[in-house]
Amino acid sequence: MSSYSNNMQDHGGFIPSIEGMRALAVLMVLLFHLDVPFLDGGYLGVDLFFVISGFIITRNILADQERNRFSLREFYVRRFRRLFPALLATVLLTLLVGTIVLPPAELVATAVSSIYAVFSLANIHFWLSSGYFEAAAESQPLLHTWSLSVEEQFYLFWPALLLVLANTRQRAVVIVILLAVPMILGLMLRREYPDAVFYLLPFRLPQLMAGALIAVLSMRLVGASGNLAVLLASAGLIALSSLSVESLSPAAAAALVTGLGFLLLLGRQAPFARVFYGHALLQWVGRRSYAIYLVHWPIIVLYNFAASFELDNWDRIALFFLSLAAAVLMHEWVEKPLRKRGEDTTPMQKLALPAIVLSLVLTLGLALTLWHLEGLQGRVDERLQRVVDSVKQEKRRKDKAIRYGKCNLHKQHVFADYDPETCATPHSEKPSVLLLGDSMAADTYMLLQQTYPEIHIMQATAAACTALLNLEAVGGRYAACEDLNAYRFSDLIDNRADAVLLASVWTEDRIEPLRKTVEYLQSRGQRVLVFGPRTVFKASIPILVSQHATPEAANAALREKAVVKNSLLEKMRAAMPDVTILDIGNLQCSPACEILEGDELLYYDQMHMTKLGAKRVGERMRQTFDLTKFVNSTKNEAQ
């Protein structure tokens, strides 16, 4: 039996199942950040947090209004005392530990992000600086504070808006508008502006409003329907958490979580929800969910730096329990003593404001000092620091070499930026090949351009834009990629190229789509050369270099830790026995996987080559593989 309750009796009072739902959300995020297999979608726990927060905040405001005791001033004081002390403690401790384990550049970045975090602007900072799923995320211990900034920005306008809206009907209408319009816009803009849709409050309103709608209308399902709602929502959330980032865009996944979170909250008082989410273990985790969320990511990132990014399963288990232990301390020593419940009665509560102000001054003072001192550069050998500082120059040099923004696009570009006349017009006197793929292909263009002057290299590449006919299997998450991909597998492949070269980040689940892509190209009369999987490193090379005493020591240590993907190469060759697949990974490591040549970088991050690095691999390629002969034999076959 099911029923809806449309009275206000549901407002106020503790609901144990909500605490358990918080536990589910934070565990999804924690396990995702620990790289637990089959939980690639665990980041969606943040979206579930938003739905729950929208419900709780709206419900509490309405309950206070009903009792004629709501005060905007008191609301903001309570929120400030609830959230800010633990956030400040986390930021301050992160900076202090960071001075020991973070290299100078990463320490400066952390100091800057800490300032944005304490002023509730972290989401805007990270939106402007990087993406959540990029490799750089692993070096930013305060990246997770973006979601706290979203909530804090929400608190600035939502209570006042609720006060202006006179009755339940007005509130419901406004909530539906704030839910539907941003969700539609987010889904429409997810390709053009994926980072904005991920980080900014307007596009996060649907999750917050889904919870608020339930609170305003006091909606709930009980009995059999309530049990079914909770079961379906729980199963759906667990299933979504197992999806890879590439299989569903974050915006589309967030929309699904909005619906599932709504369904979950509808059944919050059903028997199953009370039993399952009311379990003592989930209640324990739920009560500490804010502290767990705050401390876990800095602990993981800082530990990664200390361990040179070489985590095994035992490390992950240790980090899981270390996060819980640190959260207990944060909850007991910071959250509970300073939390405001009515009148301040304990000595700690009375000292809350001076303690918070002092912590804020210390945090900002330390952050500004570390920024001014450039991350305490004196801790690192001067030669090593020059190597690390050269990264920006190497990136500029590479951008020019790969014709960034014209022949190699990024997510901030549009398809109209691609210049086919410059990038993909065959040469009248030289053999011409067409190179397709992602940033690995851009590296390959730089490699070939320096190594084979007798061959004209045509280029159609874009960051994270795999050289596959069907991008749905791997997720082309921005418009310029999808539009360029459609163009390069239609008009461009008929553009009189003597061969088509494919280079991308390859994984096992991309082998079958690659095989179909090669078959398609062959059916269009093209001969295909595939550049196999690249050798990569366990973290960004400049970060790893900073952890050694000298460039020579860094080179000797890190070249032994390169990840050469021979097994993946063999699987690719087995799936496509008649296709030439070049072993580029082992060319990078002939005779050794060098990362430096003297004081010059061969890689500027975890996998991308510098111009010098590409030149060196190209020289080895020329010694072992005759690309000119391959292209000319293709021409002869065509004739």
| Pair (190, 335) in one structural domain | yes
pLDDT: which is higher, 452 or 244: 452
Statement: residue 11 has pLDDT above 70: no
Percent of the chain residues topping a pLDDT of 70: 94
| Pair (317, 446) in one structural domain | no
Mean pLDDT score across all residues of the chain: 91
207 exposure class (CB count in 10 Å sphere: 0-12, 13-18, 19+): buried
| Pair (445, 342) in one structural domain | no
Out of 379, 414, 435, a domain closes at 379
Residue 95 belongs to some domain of the structure: yes
| Pair (433, 519) in one structural domain | yes
| Pair (344, 401) in one structural domain | no
CA dist 2 to 211, 217, 235, 586, Å? 20, 16, 20, 63
> Quick one: average pLDDT of 289-311?
94
SS3 546: coil
pLDDT: which is higher, 310 or 226: 226
Out of 338, 359, 379, a domain closes at 379
- Residue 6 — very low, low, confident or very high, per pLDDT cuts 50/70/90? very low
- Residue 9 — very low, low, confident or very high, per pLDDT cuts 50/70/90? very low
- pLDDT digits 0-9 by tens, 79-130: 998 999 999 999 999 999 999 999 998 999 999 999 999 999 999 999 998 6
Statement: residue 63 has pLDDT above 70: yes
Statement: residue 131 has pLDDT above 60: no
CA dist 445 to 56, 404, 458, 461, 589, Å? 53, 12, 8, 9, 19
| Pair (357, 422) in one structural domain | no
- Residue 134 — very low, low, confident or very high, per pLDDT cuts 50/70/90? low
For the chain, the domain total comes to 2
Statement: residue 273 has pLDDT above 90: yes
Q: Determine the pLDDT at residue 302.
A: 96
> Quick one: average pLDDT of 262-278?
96
- pLDDT digits 0-9 by tens, 504-556: 999 998 999 999 999 999 999 999 999 999 999 988 888 888 888 888 998 99
CA distance 118 to 21: 27
| Pair (372, 411) in one structural domain | no
| Pair (608, 558) in one structural domain | yes
Residue 482 maps to which CATH number?
A: 3.40.50.1110
Q: Determine the pLDDT at residue 13.
A: 75
Residue 633 belongs to some domain of the structure: yes
CA distance 528 to 580: 7
Handedness of CA 325, 326, 329, 335 (dihedral sign): negative
For the packed helices 72-101 and 352-372, what is the interaxial angle rounded to 10 degrees?
A: 40
- pLDDT digits 0-9 by tens, 406-447: 999 998 899 999 999 999 999 988 999 999 999 999 999 999
Statement: residue 340 has pLDDT above 80: no
Answer whether 527's CB lies under 8 Å from 634's CB.
yes
| Pair (482, 630) in one structural domain | yes
CA dihedral 481, 485, 486, 488 (to 10 degrees): 140
Statement: residue 477 has pLDDT above 80: no
59-73, 104-118, 319-333: which has the minimum mean pLDDT?
Answer: 59-73
Tokens of 143: 């990246």
Residue 276 belongs to some domain of the structure: yes
Residue 440 belongs to some domain of the structure: yes
Residue 4 belongs to some domain of the structure: no
Residue 109 belongs to some domain of the structure: yes
Please give the full DSSP string across 406-426, using - where no structure is assigned: TTEE-TTS-GGG--HHHHSPP
Statement: residue 10 has pLDDT above 50: no
Statement: residue 637 has pLDDT above 70: no
Out of 352, 379, 406, a domain closes at 379
pLDDT: which is higher, 351 or 259: 259
| Pair (354, 400) in one structural domain | no
Residue 7 belongs to some domain of the structure: no
**Structural domain harbouring 407:** 386-638
Residue 513 belongs to some domain of the structure: yes
| Pair (516, 550) in one structural domain | yes
Q: Determine the pLDDT at residue 350.
A: 74
Strands 456-462 and 408-409: parallel
| Pair (352, 425) in one structural domain | no
Q: Determine the pLDDT at residue 156.
A: 94
Q: Determine the pLDDT at residue 546.
A: 86
